[in-house]
Amino acid sequence: MMKNFFKGGIILAAMFLFSCGNAQDKSDKRPVVLIKTQFGDIKVALYNETPKHRDNFLKLAKAGFYDGVLFHRVIKDFMIQGGDPDTRNAKPDQQLGNGGPGYEIDNEINPKFLHKKGALAAAREGDQVNPLKKSSGSQFYIVQGVVFPANNIPALEAKGTEKLAQSYMRQLAMANDDSLKFYQKSGNQIAFAILIEKLQTEAMVKAKKTPFKLTEEQKQVYTTIGGTPHLDGNYTVFGEVIEGLSVVDSIAAQPTGPNDRPLKDLKMEMKILSH
């Protein structure tokens, strides 16, 4: 009797663990959204680790917010950007890229999510007006990027350090905004130039103290899959392409005009496949 009980206990325990495992798998399952374009379909999986961006993207997709909206900014070997509702039925010469749902999303920048090829990330305004790196409520981009040769890593890190210096310079300029404006208004160009040079030196010194360095994971990703490493840590990556990278390549290859707007309108539609 005891032997049978023990055997039954093993079966029950196994069933319990199996059911718990299934529940865990279900909770960890990533939502999938289909982005339909004239060049084909792109399937993106959304990260559960970025719940604010995940839920917002699903909400807008479900509401049809993105249907008929354009990929309004396309840069080959860099990224394709869309999600501005003002691009729907936009005139050929219309300035695009400033529209949204009327709110921003707190950044959910996670160092484990890199700007590899196919990364889905939130667009945002620059650090000057957005020091908290809050995301646009609707605009997003998909990374195309390039594969970097392994011997180009030092140049990438140098570029990253330069970007850091530029970021520090913007912060210092904002902190000294009153003085800069005063010198400009008074016409004291010498004092203005001296202060700018001083701030630039401070920014460069600070950047060199903590230079930009790629992790081993970044080196592996950007020398094999490719991407845009200088964006890491500055924008929220909240998903990735799981099917349709060739479609991203096709869109990125389209000829563009002023402000990187494709000469022919590239419309999208979205459908939630799983959530």
Residue 1 pLDDT exceeds 50: no
Q: Mean pLDDT over residues 168-178, rounded? A: 89
245 and 139 within one domain = yes
As for how many domains the chain has, the answer is 2
Lowest mean pLDDT among 23-37, 113-127, 163-177: 23-37
* pLDDT-derived band at 23, boundaries 50, 70, 90: very low
Residues facing 120 on adjacent strands: 142, 239
Residue 146 bridge partners (DSSP): 227
pLDDT at 24 over 70: no
- Residue entry with tokens 């929220």: 236
Which tens digit of pLDDT belongs to each residue from 61-81? Answer: 999 999 999 999 999 999 999
The CA R_g of the chain, rounded to the nearest whole Å, is: 24
Please compute the mean of the pLDDT values over residues 26-46 and round it to a whole number. 91
Query: Mean pLDDT lowest for which of 10-24, 212-226, 231-245, 258-272?
Result: 10-24
Q: What angle do CA 51, 238, 38 make, to 5 degrees?
A: 125
Based on the fold, state whether residues 174 and 86 are members of the same structural domain: no
| Percent of the chain surpassing pLDDT 90 | 75
User: Could you tell me the residue range of the domain that residue 163 belongs to?
Assistant: 153-209
Residue 275: the pLDDT is 85
Supply φ then ψ for residue 146, to 5 degrees.
Answer: -140, 160
Q: Does any domain span residue 220?
A: no
Looking at residue 28, its pLDDT comes to 66
- The residue among 264, 272, 238, 266 whose CA lies nearest residue 120 is 238
Q: Is residue 12 part of a domain?
A: no
Instruction: Say yes or no: 46 and 136 in one domain.
Output: yes
The tens digit of pLDDT for each residue in 180-197 reads 999 999 999 999 999 999
Q: 21 φ, ψ to 5°?
A: -65, -40
State residue 259's pLDDT score.
92
Query: 68 and 61 in contact (C-beta within 8 Å)?
Result: no
Residue 5 has pLDDT above 80, yes or no: no
Same domain, 67 and 124: yes
Residue 232 lies inside a defined structural domain of this protein: yes
Using CB atoms within 10 A of its CB, is residue 14 exposed (0-12), middle (13-18) or buried (19+)? exposed
Of 209, 236, 255, the residue at which a domain comes to its end is 209
pLDDT of 12 > 80? The answer is: no
Distance CA 133, CA 231 (A): 12
pTM: 0.80
205 has a pLDDT exceeding 70: yes
- pLDDT at position 160 is 84
Amino acid found at 251: I
Q: Tell me the torsion sign for CA atoms 39, 244, 109, 175.
A: negative
Task: Please answer whether residues 70 and 265 qualify as being in contact, where contact means their C-beta atoms are separated by less than 8 angstroms.
Answer: yes
Residue with tokens 């908290």: 132
49 and 70 together in one domain: yes
Percentage of the residues of the chain whose pLDDT score is greater than 70: 90
Structure tokens at 47: 């990260």
C-alpha 261/C-alpha 81 separation (Å) is: 10
More confident residue, 93 or 20: 93
pLDDT higher than threshold 80 for residue 21: no
